[in-house]
Amino acid sequence: MAHEVRGVVALAKGQPVSLETIIVPDPGPGEALVKIQACGVCHTDLHYREGGISDDYPFFLGHEAAGVVEAVGEGVTDVAPGDFVVLNWRAVCGACRACLRGRPQYCFATHNAKQKMTLADGTALSPALGIGAFAEKTLVAAGQCTKVDPGASPAAVGLLGCGVMAGLGAAMNTGGVTRGDSVAVIGCGGVGDAAIAGAGLAGATTIIAVDVDDRKLEWARRFGATHTVNSRETDAVEAIRDLTGGFGADVVIDAVGRPETYRQAFYARDLAGTVVLVGVPTPEMTLELPLLDVFGRGGALKSSWYGDCLPSRDFPMLVSLYQQGRLDLDAFVSETITLDDVESAFDKMHRGEVLRSVVIL
């Protein structure tokens, strides 16, 4: 039996999203049907709508979600109907070259549902990051469901499903931030603020927030920024150097993903420091750097997909820190909205009015 639900779809490049009828099949082998309770609006959803990720329209948007498993297909043993889960886009395969070397966080063959969800006319949908959760129900691979404590707020912990995990992990996993480090984070949206929180959890003592919007800088302090820099008014590289004894930060995280912010990150780090690119560039962006500077400054230039997280390891741990009051996930939820409001949530994101709008179902 298929399920008919309402879901948010980007039908064509650059067009406003629309609410469409979506046909969700019953779970087949290895799949799970999940009743969505909450799903955050991530900048990546907007990248999809604008054609920045691929041209595989129509996209079924939404991917930062928590919900309850409604049904599972044949052979599924890790989750069962009634389980409270955060959806992830890294259901590791256990068999690829990364998994076999004990590095499942880099899995090159992650699982998604095999069956297609479709529009009412049968057109197959491309679910954002293999999820598609701006809807009452979605179909995923069972491994995309990570069980967490059912006492936690769906709106808050659903954010671990993408942006907040990406930011936390950019600092804690990819950047390897440790006690006493200085860290600068460029771009203080949901991802950047999570990187700030992650740097704090990892023991950084100087945490510099950089943004072009004063309101964002004010919010960044709530997540643990010790200093703020408005890079529209001040040169970000000089300011970061000034705040770090003239040297630059040990770890600089670019949570915007543009050539100019990457260049700032590159020059604002100390010798032998680390740059982490977690913001997602678009296909036309290029960057030229003197190769001698790349060599001479040493250190590491890294990219962070999903904060190099392993959902089974990181989600329950972070939910526990949240419940202990050590990680304020609620502070990322700027507003709760309905499925009809996703397009206006993109506008608010653009105007810098929100960290996360979260659709509640």
- Residues in contact with ligand NAD by CB under 6 A are 42-44, 47, 162-163, 166, 186-192, 210-213, 216, 231, 255-258, 260-261, 278-280, 304-306, 349, 352
- Closest-by-Cβ residue to ligand NAD is 189
| 190: partner contacted, choices ligand NAD, Zn ion, none (Cβ within 5-8 A by kind) | ligand NAD
Name residue, tokens 């200093």. 227
| 192: partner contacted, choices ligand NAD, Zn ion, none (Cβ within 5-8 A by kind) | ligand NAD
Count of beta carbons in the 10 Å neighbourhood of residue 186: 30
| 96: partner contacted, choices ligand NAD, Zn ion, none (Cβ within 5-8 A by kind) | Zn ion
Name residue, tokens 């392993």. 310
Q: Residue 341 burial by CB count (10 A; 0-12/13-18/19+): exposed, middle or buried?
A: middle
- The answer to the question of residue 93 lying near Zn ion (CB under 5 A) is yes
Please answer whether residues 83 and 69 qualify as being in contact, where contact means their C-beta atoms are separated by less than 8 angstroms: yes
Comparison of 258 and 263: residue with beta carbon closer to Zn ion? 258
- The answer to the question of residue 44 lying near Zn ion (CB under 5 A) is yes
CA geometry: angle 253, 44, 109, nearest 5 deg? 90
Comparison of 90 and 216: residue with beta carbon closer to Zn ion? 90
Using H for helix, E for strand and C for coil, what is the string for 249-282? EEEEEECCCCHHHHHHHHHCEEEEEEEEECCCCC
**DSSP three-state, residue 132:** coil
**DSSP three-state, residue 223:** coil
Task: State phi, psi for 188 to the nearest 5 degrees.
Answer: -115, 55
**DSSP three-state, residue 21:** strand
Query: In whole angstroms, how close is the CB of 174 to ligand NAD at the nearest point?
Result: 9
Comparison of 268 and 278: residue with beta carbon closer to Zn ion? 278
Comparison of 118 and 262: residue with beta carbon closer to ligand NAD? 262
Query: In whole angstroms, how close is the CB of 231 to ligand NAD at the nearest point?
Result: 5
Q: Which amino acid belongs to residue 306?
A: Y
| 107: partner contacted, choices ligand NAD, Zn ion, none (Cβ within 5-8 A by kind) | Zn ion
Find the binder of Zn ion among 152, 157, 162, 172 (CB under 5 A): 162
Report the site for Zn ion in 273-332 (rule: CB under 5 A): none
Tokens matching residue 93: 């395969």
- The answer to the question of residue 99 lying near Zn ion (CB under 5 A) is yes
Comparison of 54 and 205: residue with beta carbon closer to Zn ion? 54
Query: In whole angstroms, how close is the CB of 167 to ligand NAD at the nearest point?
Result: 7
Calpha distance 136→3 (Å, rounded): 10
Calpha distance 169→88 (Å, rounded): 14
Comparison of 47 and 263: residue with beta carbon closer to Zn ion? 47
Q: Which residues bind Zn ion (CB under 5 A)?
A: 42, 44, 93, 96, 99, 107, 109, 162-163
